[in-house]
Amino acid sequence: MGGYICSMSVTVIIATRNRSAVLAQCLREYEKQTLKDLEIIVADNGSSDDTLEMLRRDFPHIQVLSFKENIGPLALNAAAQAGRGEYLWRTDDDAYPETPTTIEEACRILDANPDLVSVSCEIRAATINFDLLHYYPHRIPEGPEPFEGYPYSTFFGCAALLRRDVFLKAGGFWDAFYYEEDEVSIRMLMLGGRMTYVPRLCAIHLNAFVQARDMNHRWKIQLVQAFRLQWKYWPPLAAAYRSMVAGLVMAMSAVYHRLNIRFVLLSYKDALRAANKAYRHERVRIPWSTLRRVTMNRSIWHRMLHPYWQQYQRRRAAK
């Protein structure tokens, strides 16, 4: 299988900030990939450590985009625009393909299915002893895995192959992390085509963030972006209901993580502001047929609670 000539070239797009050591570790793994036409672009979001020096010294063949401040997922948009690949491998700076043929096999699937716009892979997470996440939220039919995998309505951020032209035509990622894959997937599906999940393909995710340091910020951004997503795309009554559910689930998360009550209340105020802005200035009207493709008949309760249910199952199995 090694040495497969993909019909399209591939650009790996990575955004990074102050994680020089783990970024170097992951970049070395890409040197093992059997796909020959592989371009890597690293977009640095204002790192203050030795990231840029390390890239110049150890990876002079890699294209680097340097930004003076952290512009979040917009850095990935810039990398996608700067790349020459017809396919994009979207990943994180703390992730890499599990096997040398992972990207090659994902290319085979897109090559063979012109109507597919993305191939999403499974994840082995360092935080759970490199076990599989099994993040796919739908029942997998019994029997052999299809060559093209299973229908999906989004893609997993650290291990997905996308058609670059569709991604750019859809407008790329929005301006802040959290739900950025879900959000751009809606716009990609509006352009036609299908998305798929292929569990036999996998990436390693090292999960390099420090949870204690980032929890407040991460919780608030997740809350704000959840509200923003509903009011950007769903009709008002549906958006109100979905936001209520998202807010309730995030409240339970805040209690679990013992977040400061004043901080939580101020965050909900910001979430309501984001919802108002999304409805007034960002709103995109899309048909119910597309919304049904987006949800794949999955309720907002399932969407919000499924990750926590997975964590509970993993912890129970570990006992």
Q: What is the pLDDT of residues 57-112, one digit of tens each?
A: 999 999 999 999 999 999 999 999 999 999 999 999 999 999 999 999 999 999 99
Residue 236 has a pLDDT of 95
User: How far is the C-alpha of 51 from the C-alpha of 44, rounded, in Å?
Assistant: 8
Residue 37 has a pLDDT of 82
Mean pLDDT of 141-159: 94
User: How far is the C-alpha of 83 from the C-alpha of 164, rounded, in Å?
Assistant: 9
Within 10 Å of residue 201's Cβ, how many Cβ atoms?
A: 24
Q: What secondary structure letter does DSSP report for 8?
A: S
Residue 3 has a pLDDT of 56
**Pair of tokens at residue 301:** 């309760």
Residue 166 has a pLDDT of 97
Distance of CA 165 to the CA centre of its chain: 18
> Is the pLDDT at 4 greater than 70, yes or no?
no
Residue 65 host element (H or E): strand 63-67
Helices assigned H by DSSP within 113-205: 164-169, 180-190
Mean pLDDT of 41-62: 96
Q: What is the pLDDT of residues 273-284, one digit of tens each?
A: 999 999 999 999
Could you tell me what percent of the chain has a pLDDT over 70? Answer: 95
Q: What secondary structure letter does DSSP report for 128?
A: G
Could you tell me what percent of the chain has a pLDDT over 90? Answer: 75
Mean pLDDT of 125-129: 86
Residue 73 has a pLDDT of 95
Q: Please check whether residue 270 is in contact with residue 220, taking contact to mean a CB–CB distance below 8 angstroms.
A: yes
Least confident of 83-92, 126-135, 146-155: 126-135
Within 10 Å of residue 145's Cβ, how many Cβ atoms?
A: 12
Residue 107 CB partners (closer than 8 Å, separation 6+)? 4, 6, 7, 8, 10, 35, 87, 161
Q: Which of 101, 106, 107 is nearest to 121 (CA)?
A: 106
User: How far is the C-alpha of 201 from the C-alpha of 122, rounded, in Å?
Assistant: 6
Mean pLDDT of 189-212: 85
Residue whose tokens read 């509006």: 190
Radius of gyration of the chain (CA): 19
* Strand, helix or coil for residue 309: helix
User: How far is the C-alpha of 218 from the C-alpha of 239, rounded, in Å?
Assistant: 22
Residue 211 has a pLDDT of 47
> Is the pLDDT at 294 greater than 50, yes or no?
yes
CA dihedral 220, 72, 45, 47 (to 10 degrees): 10
Residue 56 has a pLDDT of 96
Q: Please check whether residue 161 is in contact with residue 103, taking contact to mean a CB–CB distance below 8 angstroms.
A: yes
User: How far is the C-alpha of 292 from the C-alpha of 303, rounded, in Å?
Assistant: 14
Reported as a pLDDT band with limits 50, 70 and 90, residue 1 is: very low
Reported as a pLDDT band with limits 50, 70 and 90, residue 7 is: low
Residue 208 has a pLDDT of 58
Mean pLDDT of 185-198: 94
Residue 129 has a pLDDT of 85
Q: What is the pLDDT of residues 207-266, one digit of tens each?
A: 755 444 578 889 999 999 999 999 999 999 999 999 999 999 999 999 999 999 999 999
Least confident of 1-10, 56-65, 117-126: 1-10
